[in-house]
Structure 1
Amino acid sequence: MAIELLYFAWVREAIGRDGETVEPPDAVKSVVDLIDWLESRGGGYAEAFADRSLLRVAVDQEFAALDAGLEGVREVAIFPPVTGG
């Protein structure tokens, strides 16, 4: 299953790209599994995903929890918490 990943803010800066298309292994069933798999790539991925409490996600353009499933998902956006004023 191909998933389009989008990275924003310091997540994008740590990884060094604003997005990519990945084909995670079959064992990747949730967003947190996806993040674990990405983090195992090392380098900027390990840096970006080291503290999960600083991450928010959107799955197919809807805010979601890190334990959200990936069945049928086309896009996952990963970003830090956003504040506005």
Structure 2
Amino acid sequence: MYVVIVYDVEQARVAKVCQYLRRFLHWVQNSAFEGELSESQLERLKLGLKNLIDPDYDSVYIYRLPHKKYLRKEIMGQEKALIDQILD
């Protein structure tokens, strides 16, 4: 499945969450990641995030699509990270 994750966490946790998500997905913009994951990889990612965030202050949005072909993405301005150049 194709996953897009965006998050808003307190400053003290931003670096830890960002580094953790880089283990699974491609960084595309500040606080935004995307990429292909299996169901088990997504579950592992979510378990790790639960240990990093404070649910009383932080939020993480996870958007799931069956495949990247269903994603229609439009970028205005600078593209922060070119994920099409990454080999799978």
TM superposition score normalised by structure 1:
0.35
More helix by share: 2
Instruction: Point out which structure has higher relative CO (alpha carbons under 8 A, 6+ apart).
Output: 2
| Rg (Cα) greater in structure | 2
